[in-house]
């Protein structure tokens, strides 16, 4: 190993922004869980549980969720177009998946799925996505506004890179937030300006809080450049009311902020009294056009009912920017040439799924609704279970894939945590892991009101595992409280 | 109220960044294509876009992985050979939930093990899969490493000139300094260590801490294959000057001569023994986009770290984890590339046939193109020993250079624009890669189909010789 004292690349000499950034979703607790998992493999009875259950990350297919058949049929045909020339293919594939694959392939120059595409993504696929957006919102969308990316995350990085010139540039972010935002702001050398969601009112977003934080930042010499809104929320799961969204749009317009709308959970809504409205739709319905509001809307193929995390597909729809700014966005995208083609194809399928009358429509709807209904049931079951625990309150998961309960930790536990040199909720999460094998992410990884403690748990384990998880969690929590009772 | 995001208020580093491969020429070519002109895109190493067919076996395997329900169908054998079916099952087992689940942020452990085994077979030295990170294309890995190394504008990275402009773009984006070292065109684009020493001394005198050195072998755009002696001297240089070597080896399968086969920097480093083998820090890059696979659209790549401390590796892991994981199909392509069908496998014969045909054709086209350029007036072209490009020097007459100045364009940009408009051939001007002052080139690829090559070279020659006729003064431009 290179001797650290003199070697050119050491922890002492690497980019300090790399050292500064953090990402708890795959942080310390996960590394520990992996070590325990290896231990179980070599000695299955060495721990008080049989298996590690990863509830730290929104990764549905790793926990048994099945992909949508139609989507995978189209992808298989697109990956191996030679299949389309064989008569046997019509025995194994649905007729509409064959037709869709043919249509997609003919929109790709030379039908070459192995070629780098246009740096914004294949035009024909962007057309399909624009149509999907227009059908969803009732307002037109332009294929040239769409940038297909390897997941939504690279698009977030692109915008942070563009917006952040120095530490004096700030981005308003919700607390709690999905730590991609805090990490990318740190990596790109900017300042995170927090605005607190109100736990007492179901994680409500108050404009007065936005205003307060904005003014506070400005008084410290920070130029606030953008507002991040995650809707539905992660980790908090709330779905914004239309009125709220309108206020947010007005706020951004009046204060000259770019609105970065993370809408990757738009198809994960579990309550009947709330509906997803894209910020673009809201802005357009208020009469605001391109000249009024710079807006970046993010969507991903990783979530929803499709859960195709491993494919890395997503897009950002960029509206309200001058052409010279858009050229810069394009230029940065072009350095990486293009996003993976399979992910691009999936994004077009997600935004343009089978329709009534298509051969696969019924089975598609059955698969989709099966997954969404099951997610809603699991959200409820876990929410109720968490709320039944002593000292634990858990807001409803109106959407997304997570529960974010607050745990009132006894003083003794907080002291024990201090001694162990861990944040109190990290201490709790670690104890939970060691007793039950369930991996959650401490609330400190997302940000929270100081003095409060949370953890984020996904609702993704398969339904048949939920009762066991609940009973183990309940037993652990009781014994933890008894151990540290004041 | 001023617009929230206007050009003036953008990150300066973004504004300064240039990436000519998809810059002015490409955009102009795309415009012309929309207007109905036939364009031959030779601006980027994108084999499948120019008619190269994907290898059959990997596509069969990945198609099965996409649709695992096929594996349960009794009729699957009608469409897929048994070894593709077995391999698909093998990879699906290695994933943590199929293609649709985020993998380990470093990539699927089983695939990284296959990569490690490939490296060991290739080099004769063992390697640790934990030090191999799969990425969405090699470019992402390059950007991650440069981002980790560059702290501020006083950190310099030695980069060959001419270079693949990912390096200059990334260095600018991350706010570092590019320290150029010139490859010797007259000596077949080889390394000139006097020049490198001068460059580094000059940078240091300006207060720059030179942190790393980039080497592209085989070269892009220059195509040279480095000799073992060159690489040894390079490694010794990095050892003495305390530089981490970034070895871009993505074209290691593209070799068109037999005098200098590919030898990895890592193998030579270990051949050199102590103290270098334990001290020199090295990061090696590879991809599924090049070679004879050409699977650019899959975005599959890896980097391998040698002699970086565990703490540093942890930090690099942390940054990788923010992006969650590289795309899983691309990872499977990588596994298949490093672990292709073997003699005796059902698909071996076809796989070998397809691969050989591509490699033989590339070798032929390397010659056709080099010879074609050398037959043109005022054009001199080194042989494409490796990679996928031809980088002819265009000796522009003085009047052409003046015309370019009046048009507000770099001379080679003007030449390439005129070439494009006259012939539809879309190239990248040498200024996009860097070149010595007053010396002009263009980069094209050797990728157009073999049967189209003669016509393309003829079309080029016609344009070039007419251009030279037009711009030369009456005495002619002497070929020195």
Tell me the average pLDDT across A87-91.
93
Find where tokens 């990150």 sit.
B11
Query: Which residue on chain B is closest to A75 by alpha carbon?
Result: B66
- In B131-203 the beta strands, taken as DSSP E runs, fall at 132-135, 155-161, 177-182
CA gap A133, A127 in Å, rounded: 10
- Please check whether residue A77 touches B, CB under 8 A: yes
d(CA B244, CA B242): 7
Other CB atoms within 10 Å distance of the CB of residue A229: 23
**pLDDT band at residue B280 under the 50/70/90 scheme:** very high
Cβ separation of A337 and B96 shorter than 8 Å? no
The share of chain A scoring above pLDDT 90, in percent, equals 95
Q: Which CATH number fits domain B93-338: 3.40.630.10, 3.40.640.10, 3.60.20.10, 3.30.160.100?
A: 3.40.640.10
With a CB cutoff of 8 Å and minimum separation 6, the contacts of B274 are none
Q: pTM for this one?
A: 0.96
Token readout for B126 is 């063992």
Specify the residue for token string 């490296």: B119
Q: Which residues of A touch B98 (CB under 8 A)?
A: 61, 67, 310
| Residue ranges of chain B assigned to CATH 3.90.1150.10 | 7-38+361-471
Structure token pair of residue A367: 């698969």
Does the beta-carbon distance from A59 to B244 stay under 8 Å?
no
Residues B118-171 pLDDT 10s: 999 999 999 999 999 999 999 999 999 999 999 999 999 999 999 999 999 999
Place of tokens 């871009």: B248
Residue A363 sits at the chain B interface (C-beta within 8 Å): no
Residue found by looking up tokens 């193929």 in the block: A301
In chain B, positions 166-205, which contact chain A (CB-CB < 8 Å)?
A: 166, 169-170, 173-174
Give CATH 3.40.640.10 domain extents, chain B.
93-338
Say how many C-beta atoms besides its own lie within 10 A of residue A91's C-beta.
11
User: Which two tokens mark B417?
Assistant: 């624009």
Q: What is the DSSP string of A160-183?
A: HHHH-SSTTEEEEEEES--THHHH
Roughly what angle, to the nearest 10 degrees, separates helices A411-419 and A466-484?
A: 90
User: What residues in B contact A310, CB-CB < 8 Å?
Assistant: 95, 97-103, 325, 327-329
Is A318 in CB contact (< 8 Å) with chain B? Answer: no
What is the secondary structure of A366-433 as a DSSP string? HHHHHHHHHHHHHHHHHHHHHHTSTTEE-----BSSEE--EE---HHHHHHHHHTTS-HHHHHHHHHH
Pairing of strands B132-135, B301-306: antiparallel
pLDDT 10s digits, A456-473: 999 999 999 999 999 999
Residue B478 scores a pLDDT above 70: no
Strands (E), A231-331: 258-262, 295-300, 314-319
* One-character DSSP codes across B84-103: HHHHHHHHHHHSSSSTTS--
Mean pLDDT estimate for chain A: 95
Task: List C-alpha distances in Å: A304 to A155, A270, A280, B224, B257.
Answer: 19, 11, 19, 49, 52
Verify whether the Cβ–Cβ distance A334 to B136 is below 8 Å.
no
The pLDDT assigned to B22 comes to: 85
Nearest to B75 among A15, A88, A310 (CB): A88
Confidence band of A1 (pLDDT split at 50, 70, 90): very low
* B327 lies within 8 A of chain A by CB: yes
pLDDT for A363 beyond 90: yes
- Nearest-Cα distance to chain A for B343, in Å, is 23
Q: Measured between CB atoms, does A13 come within 8 Å of chain B?
A: yes
Identify whether the C-beta of residue B94 lies closer than 8 Å to the C-beta of residue B110: yes
Please give the pLDDT value at position A25. 86
Q: Which residue has the tokens 């009875």?
A: A45
Strand segments (E) across B427-466: 428-429, 442-445
How many helices (H) and strands (E) in chain A?
A: 17, 14
pLDDT of residue B254: 98
Alpha carbon distance A453, A347 (integer Å): 37
CB count within 10 Å of CB A340 equals 29
pLDDT tens per residue, range B416-474: 999 999 999 999 999 999 999 999 999 999 999 999 999 999 999 999 999 999 999 75
Residue B218: pLDDT over 60: yes
Q: Which two tokens stand for residue B399?
A: 């009047």
Region of B327 on the Ramachandran plot (φ > 0 left; ψ -120 to 50 alpha; else beta): beta
A88 contacts on B by Cβ (under 8 Å): 75, 78-79
Closest CA to B112 of B343, B315, B286, B266: B286
**What is the CB-side half-sphere exposure of residue B418 using CA atoms within 13 A?**
20
| B102 has a chain A CB within 8 A of its CB | yes
Q: Which residue of A has its CA nearest to B67?
A: A72
Rg, Å, chain A Cα set: 23
Give the model's confidence band at A4: pLDDT under 50 very low, under 70 low, under 90 confident, else very high. very low
Number of residues assigned to chain B? 480
pLDDT tens digits, B28-52? 999 999 999 999 999 999 999 999 9
C-alpha to C-alpha distance for B218 and B212, rounded to whole angstroms: 19
Residue of B nearest to A27 (CA): B318
pLDDT band at A3 (very low <50, low <70, confident <90, very high): very low
pLDDT digits (tens, 9 = 90+) for B290-332: 999 999 999 999 999 999 999 999 999 999 999 999 999 999 9
Of the pLDDT bands very low, low, confident and very high (cuts 50, 70, 90), residue B476 is low
Counting Cα atoms < 13 Å in the Cβ hemisphere of A371 gives 23
Nearest to B419 by CA among B32, B1, B79, B19: B32
The full DSSP string for A122-133 is: -HHHHHHHHHHH
The pairing of strands A53-54 and A438-439 is: parallel
User: How many residue pairs from chains A and B have C-beta atoms closer than 8 A?
Assistant: 311
Q: Which residue has the higher pLDDT, A28 or B271?
A: B271
Examine residue B221 and say whether the peptide bond preceding it is cis (omega within 30 degrees of 0): yes
- Best of A310, A342, A460 to substitute, by most chain B Cβ atoms within 10 angstroms, is A310
pLDDT digits (tens, 9 = 90+) for A141-166: 999 999 999 999 999 999 999 999 99
Given 3.90.1150.10, 3.40.50.2300, 3.30.413.10, 3.40.630.30, which CATH number is that of B7-38+361-471? Answer: 3.90.1150.10
* Spatial CB neighbours of A453, under 8 Å, sequence gap ≥ 6: A406, A407, A408, A409, A424, A425, A428, A442, A443, A444
- Determine what percent of chain A is predicted with pLDDT higher than 70: 99
β-sheet bridge partners, residue A110: none
Label residues B307-320 b or e (16+ Cβ within 10 Å = b): bbbeebbebbbbbb
């Amino acid at each position: 190993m290179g001797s650290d004292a003199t070697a050119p690349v050491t922890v002492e000499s690497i980019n300090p922004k790399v050292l500064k950034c953090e990402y708890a979703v795959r942080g310390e607790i996960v590394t520990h869980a992996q070590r325990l998992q290896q231990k179980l493999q070599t000695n299955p009875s060495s721990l008080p549980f049989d298996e590690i259950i990863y509830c730290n990350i929104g990764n549905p297919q790793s926990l048994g969720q099945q992909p949508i058949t139609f989507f995978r049929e189209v992808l298989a045909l697109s990956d191996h177009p030679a299949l389309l020339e064989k008569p046997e293919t019509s025995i194994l594939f649905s007729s509409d998946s064959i037709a869709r694959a043919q249509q997609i392939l003919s929109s790709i120059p030379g039908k070459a799925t192995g070629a780098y595409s246009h740096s914004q993504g294949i035009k024909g696929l962007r057309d399909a996505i624009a149509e999907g957006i227009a059908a969803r919102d009732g307002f037109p969308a332009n294929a040239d506004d769409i940038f297909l990316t390897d997941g939504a995350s690279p698009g977030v990085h692109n915008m942070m890179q563009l917006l952040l010139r120095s530490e004096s540039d700030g981005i308003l972010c919700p607390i709690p937030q999905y730590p991609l935002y805090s990490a990318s702001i740190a990596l790109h050398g900017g300042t995170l300006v927090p605005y607190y969601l109100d736990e007492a009112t179901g994680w409500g977003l108050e404009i007065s809080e936005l205003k307060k934080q904005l003014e506070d930042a400005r008084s410290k010499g920070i130029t606030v450049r953008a507002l991040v809104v995650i809707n539905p929320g992660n980790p908090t799961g709330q779905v914004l009311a239309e009125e709220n969204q309108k206020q947010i749009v007005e706020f951004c317009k009046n204060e000259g902020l770019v609105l970065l709308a993370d809408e990757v959970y738009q198809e994960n809504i579990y309550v009947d009294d709330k509906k997803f409205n894209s910020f673009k739709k809201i802005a357009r319905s208020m009469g605001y056009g391109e000249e009024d509001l710079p807006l970046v809307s993010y969507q991903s193929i990783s979530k929803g009912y499709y859960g195709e995390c491993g494919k890395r597909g997503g897009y950002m729809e960029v509206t309200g920017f001058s052409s010279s700014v858009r050229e810069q966005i394009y230029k940065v995208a072009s350095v990486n040439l293009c996003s993976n083609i399979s992910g691009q194809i999936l994004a077009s399928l997600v935004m343009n799924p089978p329709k009534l009358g298509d051969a696969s429509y019924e089975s598609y709807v059955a698969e989709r609704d099966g997954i969404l209904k099951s997610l809603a049931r699991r959200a409820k079951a876990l929410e109720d279970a968490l709320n039944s625990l002593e000292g634990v309150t858990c807001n409803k998961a109106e959407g997304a894939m997570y529960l974010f309960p607050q745990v009132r930790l006894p003083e003794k536990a907080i002291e024990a945590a201090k001694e162990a040199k861990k944040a109190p909720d990290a201490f709790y999460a670690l104890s939970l892991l060691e007793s039950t094998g369930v991996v959650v992410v401490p609330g400190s990884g997302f940000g929270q009101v100081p003095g409060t403690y949370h953890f984020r748990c996904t609702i993704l384990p398969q339904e048949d595992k939920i009762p066991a998880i609940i009973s183990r969690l309940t037993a652990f929590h009781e014994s933890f409280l008894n151990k540290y009772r004041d | 109220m001023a617009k929230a995001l206007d050009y003036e208020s953008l990150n300066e580093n973004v504004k300064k960044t240039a990436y000519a491969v998809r810059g002015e020429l490409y955009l102009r070519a795309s415009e012309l294509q929309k207007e109905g002109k036939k364009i031959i895109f030779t601006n980027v190493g994108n084999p499948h876009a120019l008619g190269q067919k994907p290898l059959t076996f990997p596509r069969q395997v990945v198609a099965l992985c996409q649709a695992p329900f096929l594996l349960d169908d009794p009729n699957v054998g009608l469409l897929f050979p048994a070894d593709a079916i077995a391999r698909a099952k093998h990879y699906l087992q290695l994933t943590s939930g199929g293609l649709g689940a985020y993998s380990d942020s470093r990539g699927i452990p089983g695939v990284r093990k296959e990569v490690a085994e490939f490296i060991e077979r290739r080099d004769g030295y063992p390697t640790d899969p934990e030090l191999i990170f799969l990425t969405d294309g090699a470019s992402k890995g390059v950007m991650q490493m440069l981002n980790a190394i560059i702290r501020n504008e006083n950190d310099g990275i030695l980069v060959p000139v001419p270079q693949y402009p990912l390096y200059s773009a990334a260095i600018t984006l991350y706010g570092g300094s590019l320290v150029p070292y010139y490859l010797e065109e007259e000596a077949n684009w080889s390394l000139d260590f006097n020049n490198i020493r001068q460059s580094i001394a000059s940078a240091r005198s300006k207060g720059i801490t030179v942190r790393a050195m980039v080497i592209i072998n085989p070269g892009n755009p220059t195509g040279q294959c480095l000799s073992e002696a060159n690489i040894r001297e390079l490694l010794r240089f990095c050892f003495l000057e305390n530089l981490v070597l970034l070895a871009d080896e993505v074209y290691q399968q593209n070799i068109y001569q037999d005098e200098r086969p590919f030898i990895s920097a890592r193998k030579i480093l270990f051949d050199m023994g102590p103290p270098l083998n334990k001290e020199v820090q090295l990061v090696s890059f590879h991809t599924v986009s090049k070679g004879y696979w050409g699977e650019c659209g899959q975005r599959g790549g890896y980097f391998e770290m040698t002699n970086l401390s565990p703490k540093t590796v942890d930090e690099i892991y942390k940054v990788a984890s923010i992006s969650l994981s590289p795309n899983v199909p691309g990872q499977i392509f990588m596994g298949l590339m490093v672990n292709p069908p073997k003699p005796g496998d059902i698909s071996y014969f076809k796989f070998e046939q397809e691969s050989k045909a591509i490699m033989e054709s590339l070798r032929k086209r390397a010659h056709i193109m080099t010879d074609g350029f050398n037959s043109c007036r005022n054009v001199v072209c080194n042989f494409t020993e490796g990679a996928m490009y031809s980088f002819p020097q265009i000796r522009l007459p003085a009047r052409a250079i003046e015309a370019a100045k009046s048009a507000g364009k770099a001379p080679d940009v003007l030449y390439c624009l005129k070439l494009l408009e006259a012939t539809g051939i879309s190239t990248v001007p040498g200024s996009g890669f860097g070149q010595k002052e007053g010396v002009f080139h263009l980069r094209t690829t050797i990728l157009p189909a073999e049967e189209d090559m003669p016509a393309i070279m003829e079309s080029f020659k016609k344009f070039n010789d007419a251009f030279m006729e037009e711009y030369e003064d009456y005495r002619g431009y002497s070929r020195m």
